[in-house]
């Protein structure tokens, strides 16, 4: 990663690398807990602009991960009741929480236009990415 860049620059670079190099990652972004409010706020992302800059805890896949503290792999978004659609081209989604000192402080969110593309390898890889993001957050 480049030196002398801001945290948001580094997070955006991670999004860019993931979207460019992994064919089934079509929208890659970060959501973070918004201060002491019970909501997530959109951070750096790559892909189509989204209207969902703020997501209340519990709402959609992202909001559910904010309270469950667990990975959420959605093979078919059409089969989810509690789902916030950002684009009609999205078929699947994966959300992995980011922990700092054991606290769930945000997440990486990835949408795919491929049906059922995410495997346990994606989960393990993205958990690793999130652990590196956690280090960046603590160093900033």
Give contact residues for ligand SME (rule: CB under 6 A).
Answer: 27, 29, 50, 52, 55, 60-63, 83-84, 86, 93, 109, 111
The residue of the chain with the least Cβ separation from ligand SME equals 60
Residue closer to ligand SME (CB basis): 11 or 62: 62
Give the nearest distance from C-beta 67 to ligand SME in angstroms. Answer: 12
Give the nearest distance from C-beta 59 to ligand SME in angstroms. Answer: 7
Instruction: Return the SS3 of 45.
Output: strand
Is residue 26 within 8 Å of 112, Cβ to Cβ?
Answer: yes
- Spatial neighbors of 56 by CB under 8 A, at least 6 apart, are 38, 39, 40, 63
Cα–Cα distances in Å, from 38 out to 35, 64, 93?
Answer: 8, 12, 22
Residue closer to ligand SME (CB basis): 65 or 133: 65
Residue closer to ligand SME (CB basis): 8 or 53: 53
Give the nearest distance from C-beta 9 to ligand SME in angstroms. Answer: 20
**In the numeric block, which tokens belong to residue 90?**
């999205």
Q: How far apart are CA 88 and CA 103, in angstroms?
A: 33
């Amino acid at each position: 990663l480049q030196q002398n860049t801001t945290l948001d620059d580094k997070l955006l670079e991670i999004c860019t690398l993931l979207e460019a190099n992994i064919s089934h990652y079509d929208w890659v972004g970060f959501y973070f807990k918004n201060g002491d409010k019970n909501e997530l706020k959109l951070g750096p992302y790559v892909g189509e602009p989204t209207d969902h800059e703020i997501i209340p805890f519990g709402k959609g896949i992202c909001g559910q991960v904010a309270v469950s503290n667990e990975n959420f792999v959605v093979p078919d978004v059409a089969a989810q009741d509690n789902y916030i659609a950002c684009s009609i081209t999205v078929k699947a989604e994966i959300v992995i929480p980011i922990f700092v000192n054991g606290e769930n402080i945000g997440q990486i969110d990835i949408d795919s236009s491929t049906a059922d593309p995410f495997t346990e390898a994606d989960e393990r890889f993205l958990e690793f990415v999130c652990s590196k993001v956690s280090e960046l957050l603590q160093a900033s």
